[in-house]
Amino acid sequence: MTQPTSFAETISGQSGSRRMLLVWDAPNMDMGLGALLGGRPTAAHRPRFDALGRWLLHRTADASANAPEQGQIEPEATVFTNIAPGSADVVRPWVDALRNVGFAVFAKPKLTDDSDVDSDMLDHIELRRHTVGLAGVIVASADGQAFREPLLEVAADGVPVTVIGFREHASWALTTEGLEFIDLEDIPGVFREPLPRIGLDSLPDDGAWLPPFRPLSALLR
């Protein structure tokens, strides 16, 4: 029986152009945003993927203009996510919206604690690296355990590597030579309103209240 061809394999055969590859680790980014906000984000604090897509297009155009002798560069963006049992109807509008913007989505059932998407993201980067080639890799994640060493290997090939995340959770990217770090909130238009970010390293002179992440009564549940 012939195995189905993945999207990654199909698209790599459609064009020989190198890729400016964006990989979005949805479980990790959602967890990081929730930790900053102390709960589920409202519409004002959900990332706008249309703004992220425009930023990627501009970054790809700049890379092409700066090295025209290296040939055409194509942007490619994929969101990797887990789908918990029974959540398909809730998640479907978000997945459809991403695809409508121009993002591919890799969705994997969350059947066990081990059925995450880390290996799928790394496989996707490796496929691009060894087929069409990479003009740049952008990973949106704070998961240094999964990404630090593989990304350093890519950077050692001379490929620019960028990590997108929240500075509060990505010290590994901030301090690792050879990796560029961009705070997600610094990308224009990604959030409709500023994130309520008051941390221990950015306290105002007169101090600040840091609310609990959950009610004290949760200890009795």
Comparison of pLDDT for 10 and 100, the residue scoring more? 100
Predicted pLDDT at 7: 53
pLDDT of residue 218: 76
Q: What is the pLDDT of residue 14?
A: 62
Polymer length in residues for the chain = 221
Q: Is it the case that residue 217 has pLDDT exceeding 70?
A: yes
Name the residue among 112, 103, 107, 137 with its Cα closest to residue 122: 137
Judged against a pLDDT cut of 70, whether residue 3 lies above it is answered with no
Pairing of strands 73-83, 104-109: parallel
Please name which of 28, 40, 32, 26 lies closest in space to residue 214, comparing C-alpha atoms: 40
Q: Which long-range contacts (CB under 8 A, 24 or more apart) does 64-69 make?
A: 67/135
Confidence of residue 121 (pLDDT cuts 50, 70, 90): very high
Q: What is the pLDDT of residues 144-191, one digit of tens each?
A: 999 999 999 999 999 999 999 999 889 999 999 999 999 999 999 999
pLDDT in tens, 36-89: 887 888 888 999 999 999 999 999 999 999 888 878 899 999 999 999 899 999
- CA torsion sign for 150, 57, 46, 175 is positive
Place of tokens 């997945």: 95
Query: Does residue 128 carry a pLDDT above 60?
Result: yes
Residue 138's CB: how many other CB atoms inside 10 A?
22
For residue 184, give the DSSP letter: G
Comparing C-alpha atoms, which of 125, 162, 170, 138 is closest to residue 31? 170
Mean pLDDT of the chain: 88
Q: What is the DSSP string of 57-81?
A: HHHHHHHHHH-GGG--EEEEEEEEE
CATH number of the structural domain 9-186 = 3.40.50.1010
Task: Answer whether residue 11 shows pLDDT above 70.
Answer: no
Angle between helices 49-66 and 88-101 (to 10 degrees): 30
118: pLDDT confidence band, cut at 50, 70 and 90? very high
Neighbours of 29 (CB within 10 A): 22
